[in-house]
Amino acid sequence: MQLKKVARLLDSYIVEVAPDPCLKASKFLALVLALPDSARDCYDEIYHATDIYLEVHSGLSEEEKMKICCALNYEKLSAEACMHLSHNKKFSSKSAVQALQSQHLKLKSLLSGTNNLESKVNEVNEQIVLYAGKLEISTDSEKLRAHLQGMQWRVMELEKVCKKMQTQMTKIMKSSRVPSHSNSRSLPRLCS
């Protein structure tokens, strides 16, 4: 991880010094090759610096240009950088071919990996459908639970109303005071 941070810092530095007309090709190349290939995940910054360097140093020999271009790892260039390189007149046609070949290999490996990925995607889709089915069941049970709670609340409310009515009926019966017990009927129990 530390080496990758150093690589990012060095790449930024190389981009900064690339426009210097006094920078010799050997020094530029030494900076680019100072770190191992594994230190960089992407060579886009190095490509950018090389592009600037070749623009400023247009009087370089073909041999010097080839040495500088060989320092690029075409496999670690982004698709955009490869497309730019393939149209860039400052780079040799050999460099453009190498960049396009590396992109071709990347695409080929991606396509072969896509077949494996397709089966995995189908498997994941089936799992998602199963999970969605479980969610529907849990959603239905949540609805039922909410409905049941609503019914329980309603029953409690009705029991309260029933007790109030029973209390009121008892008061009414006491206040009317029927003289004989034979004529009065006992009230039925309305609530438990």
pLDDT given for residue 128 in this prediction = 60
pLDDT given for residue 99 in this prediction = 81
User: Distance between alpha carbon 170 and the CA centroid of its chain, in Å?
Assistant: 70
- DSSP letter for 8, please: H
pTM: 0.57
Helix (H) or strand (E) holding 182, with range, is none
Interatomic CA distance for residues 1 and 178, integer angstroms: 99
pLDDT given for residue 36 in this prediction = 92
pLDDT band at 188 (very low <50, low <70, confident <90, very high): low
Residue 25 has pLDDT above 90, yes or no: yes
Instruction: Find all residues with CB under 8 Å of 3, minimum gap 6, and list them.
Output: 35, 36, 38, 39
Residue 55: CB atoms within 10 A of its CB come to: 12
Interatomic CA distance for residues 152 and 118, integer angstroms: 50
pLDDT band at 116 (very low <50, low <70, confident <90, very high): low
pLDDT given for residue 118 in this prediction = 59
Percent share of the chain, pLDDT over 70: 76
- Say which range, 42-46, 65-69, 151-155, has the weakest mean pLDDT: 151-155
Burial class (CB in 10 A: 0-12, 13-18, 19+), 92: middle
Mean pLDDT confidence for 70-74: 90
Residue 122 has pLDDT above 90, yes or no: no
Residue 176 has pLDDT above 80, yes or no: no
- Say which range, 48-52, 94-98, 139-143, has the weakest mean pLDDT: 139-143
Greater confidence (4 vs 122) lies with 4
- Say which range, 10-14, 30-34, 58-62, 121-125, has the weakest mean pLDDT: 121-125
